[in-house]
């Protein structure tokens, strides 16, 4: 384990300087004006870094680029004073089993006003919720992680209002149906997705598709609400409500069936509902219904009494 201290940083920078020029040494005062710092063993091959915590960087206020890849860092922290940092490379950390890279909210708050390039590839991440506040971020590399929730990803990407280049190859979410379409439709600034250019025509088409899909869900929701309103207003037993709802919205056949308390199914035949003369009321056309199997006549119906076999004349209601 290596502790990240000012002395350690000075020793590393001096070593790099000596590799470039054997006659020139790094002065200690020059550390305060550093703009680029590489602390990853991919570039410093002679010494393998084992840094597991970001700390003691408060004096590097002018730092613009920080390379910390291929270490053992679990939490991105200690960056509260780096208000000029524009590039952070912290890819491929050697993390314990079951752990993933996390971000300290205090560091995120500082980076939200300056960070433009972020590489967090290969860090076992399952969500981008922790970086949603990075509104200045333009380039994001999240390749080879464990992101698999398309809804969570879409919501996070939609908050990154400056993002132009996004890489997600190697994540399970890329196998999701219409994964690319979902991301493009929910972000107005993306120009490159997984190395492929996003054209304005493509973005326009995806947004129209998104609106059409949204309207379809609204229409479906309204139909369900109308179904419930009609059945509830009838004040009928639950079994009959269900049958009426099914008949109105699913089956054109006016035959309804209900189940009684003794599990016996009874069927009721109702006349077909047809549209008659339209009535204009309050500027709206209201269809006038009538029952098709009831004969229109002014004659009286003849009903034979079952008690005395006498014919009784009843007027139509």
Q: What is the pLDDT of residues 23-65, one digit of tens each?
A: 445 555 566 666 777 766 544 433 446 888 998 888 888 899 9
- Reference 89, options 59, 124, 116; nearest CA is 116
Alpha carbon separation from 254 to 233, 243, 244, 273 (Å, rounded):
19, 10, 9, 8
Distance from C-alpha of 179 to C-alpha of 294, rounded to nearest angstrom: 57
Enumerate domains of the chain plus CATH numbers: 6-202 (3.80.10.10), 212-314 (no CATH)
Question: What pLDDT was estimated at residue 240?
Answer: 66
Residue 307 has a pLDDT of 46
Based on its alpha-carbon atoms, the radius of gyration of the chain, rounded to whole angstroms, reads 36
pLDDT of residue 275: 47
Beta pairing class for 265-269 and 273-281: unpaired
Secondary structure (3-state) at 230? helix
Residue ranges in the chain whose pLDDT is less than 70: 1-6, 9-10, 12-34, 39-49, 214, 222-317
Task: Write down the pLDDT at residue 61.
Answer: 87
């Amino acid at each position: 384990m290596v502790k990240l201290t000012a002395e350690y940083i000075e020793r590393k920078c001096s070593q790099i300087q000596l590799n470039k020029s054997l006659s020139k040494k790094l002065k200690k005062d020059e550390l305060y004006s550093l703009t680029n710092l590489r602390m990853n063993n991919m570039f410093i091959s002679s010494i393998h870094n084992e840094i597991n915590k970001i700390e003691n960087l408060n004096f590097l206020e002018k730092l613009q680029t920080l390379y910390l890849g291929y270490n053992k860092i679990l939490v991105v922290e200690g960056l509260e004073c780096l208000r000029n940092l524009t590039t952070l490379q912290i890819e491929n950390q050697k993390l314990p089993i079951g752990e993933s890279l996390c971000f300290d909210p205090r560091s995120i708050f500082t980076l939200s006003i300056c960070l433009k390039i972020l590489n967090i590839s290969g860090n076992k991440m399952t969500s981008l919720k922790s970086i949603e506040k990075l509104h200045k971020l333009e380039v994001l590399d999240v390749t080879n992680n464990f992101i698999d929730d398309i809804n969570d990803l879409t919501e996070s990407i939609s908050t990154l209002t400056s993002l132009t280049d996004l890489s997600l190859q190697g994540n399970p979410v890329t196998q999701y149906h219409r994964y690319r379409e979902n991301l493009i439709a929910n972000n107005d600034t993306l120009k490159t997705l997984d190395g492929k250019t996003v054209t304005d025509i493509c973005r326009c088409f995806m947004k129209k598709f998104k609106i059409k899909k949204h309207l379809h869900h609204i229409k479906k929701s309204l139909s369900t609400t109308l179904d419930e309103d009609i059945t509830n207003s009838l004040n009928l037993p639950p079994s009959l409500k269900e049958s009426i709802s099914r008949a109105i919205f699913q089956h054109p056949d006016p035959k309804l069936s209900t189940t009684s308390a003794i599990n016996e199914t009874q069927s009721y035949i109702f006349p077909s509902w047809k549209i008659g003369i339209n009535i204009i009321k309050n500027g709206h056309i209201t269809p006038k219904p009538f029952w098709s199997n009831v004969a229109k006549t002014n004659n009286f119906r003849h009903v034979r009494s079952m008690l005395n076999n006498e014919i009784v004349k009843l007027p139509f209601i």
